[in-house]
Amino acid sequence: MKRLLLPLILTVFIVSCNNNDKVEKEISNINTEITIERFDELFDEVATPADLKKLQTAYPFMFSEKYSDTFWIEKVNDTLQKQLVDEVAKQFQDMDATKQEIESLFNHLKYYFPNFSSPRVITVTSYVDYRNKVIVTDSIALISLDTYLGSDHEFYQGIQKYIAADMNKEQIVVDMADEYAKKFIYRKDIKTFLDEMVYHGKLLYFKDAMVPFKTEAERIGYTQEQLDWAQANESYIWRYFVERELLYSTDSKLPGRFIIDAPFSKFYLEEIDAQSPDKLGQYIGWQIVRAYMENNDVPLMEMFDANTEEIFNNSKFKPRK
């Protein structure tokens, strides 16, 4: 039996790789080209009311009418604003690599969502508003470059390390993909912990498909060491969730313990908590969704619409041992 099983596994693996290669080749032929509009630089060049009017005409959506022209000119000359602009200029003299990654993301979005139209990509500064690093709409994608200066940057000293860890330029396209995932995958009927896990698993699988050129660790916002820990302890994590009957629990504390960004996951076991990465509920949900896609011939869009029970019951998920 084992002699028959190994060739079968190898055949499935080879077919899967060939299919992925074929898809990626088709996607690469889409050839999206974008221009990154450096609004951050244009705003810094405003010196007179006439300059401001020109910029307001070109970017009306960037200027709230409740603020006067005097407010905007004073902001240009604000000391902190000048410091932010200077630091952004140092880190983002060349955005070619970021541009290529965004174009690849848009290629993938156009392949899977034929009606997708590339938005204007505009860079700004935001006084380090790390809660809104990227904002996407149907026509605009805003990137706050001052939230991607590098996790050890002096501007981030007052920010918790687990948050600052993702404030580097390599995460820009991942954050963009995450925002598009939230637009395309409807968050519905989230009642149980399993619902939360599967929903976030869908978001991560979306990033598998849209930014396959980024590492798995980057897609979930882990270091490689954190991802290695999650993989090595996958069986333990799953057993913990099952034995404590957490899957169908509606305990409102569970997302805070295992879903959202945090310093670590909270098993309430000191020796485990000190070592564990955060978001382990997301990680397990990711593996469930992956297992579902591997074991069922389901189009990507159909999976996004599938409910939790459909995905979980047909995933045949088994954790790594």
pLDDT in tens, the chain (321 residues): 545 444 544 444 444 555 677 888 899 889 899 999 999 999 999 999 999 999 999 999 999 999 999 999 999 999 999 999 999 999 999 999 999 999 999 999 999 999 999 999 999 999 999 999 999 999 999 999 999 999 999 999 999 999 999 999 999 999 999 999 999 999 988 999 999 999 999 999 999 999 999 999 999 999 999 999 999 999 999 999 999 999 999 999 999 999 999 999 999 998 899 899 999 999 999 999 999 999 999 999 999 999 999 999 999 999 988
Say if residue 47 is in the same domain as residue 128.
Answer: yes
Helices (H) and strands (E) in the chain, counts: 17, 4
- Residue 108: which of 239, 182, 210 has the closest Cα? 210
Residue 31 lies in a domain: no
Say if residue 252 is in the same domain as residue 160.
Answer: no
Residue 11 lies in a domain: no
Residue 10 lies in a domain: no
Going from the C-alpha of 244 to that of each of 171, 189, 204, 241, 248, the distances in angstroms are 35, 23, 25, 6, 10
Q: Which of 137, 163, 184 is the last residue of a domain?
A: 184
Residue 212 lies in a domain: yes
Q: Which of 116, 151, 184 is the last residue of a domain?
A: 184
Going from the C-alpha of 178 to that of each of 175, 264, 285, 286, 289, the distances in angstroms are 5, 21, 16, 14, 16
Say if residue 154 is in the same domain as residue 287.
Answer: no
Question: Quick one: tokens of 193?
Answer: 């912990």
Say if residue 151 is in the same domain as residue 239.
Answer: no
Say if residue 41 is in the same domain as residue 162.
Answer: yes
Residue 1 lies in a domain: no
* Cβ-count burial 222-247 (b if 16+ within 10 Å, e if not): beeebbebbeebbeebbebbeeeebb
Domain count within the chain: 2
Rounded Cα gap, residues 315 and 300, in angstroms: 14
Residue 104 lies in a domain: yes
- Residue 123: which of 68, 44, 221 has the closest Cα? 44
Question: Any alpha helices (H) in 29-156, and if so which ranges?
Answer: 39-44, 49-58, 69-76, 79-91, 96-112
Residue 288 lies in a domain: yes
Question: Quick one: tokens of 252?
Answer: 């409102």
- Give the CA dihedral 96, 101, 103, 107, nearest 10 degrees: 160
Say if residue 172 is in the same domain as residue 147.
Answer: yes
Say if residue 133 is in the same domain as residue 210.
Answer: no
Beta-carbon contacts of residue 125 (< 8 Å; ≥ 6 apart): 40, 43, 81, 84, 85, 88, 144, 145, 146
Helix (H) or strand (E) holding 121: strand 120-124
Say if residue 241 is in the same domain as residue 282.
Answer: yes
Residue 266 lies in a domain: yes
For residues 56 and 133, the answer to whether their CB atoms sit within 8 Å is no
Say if residue 211 is in the same domain as residue 307.
Answer: yes
Residue for token digits 């002096």? 154
Domain hosting 149: range is 36-184
Q: Which of 131, 157, 184 is the last residue of a domain?
A: 184
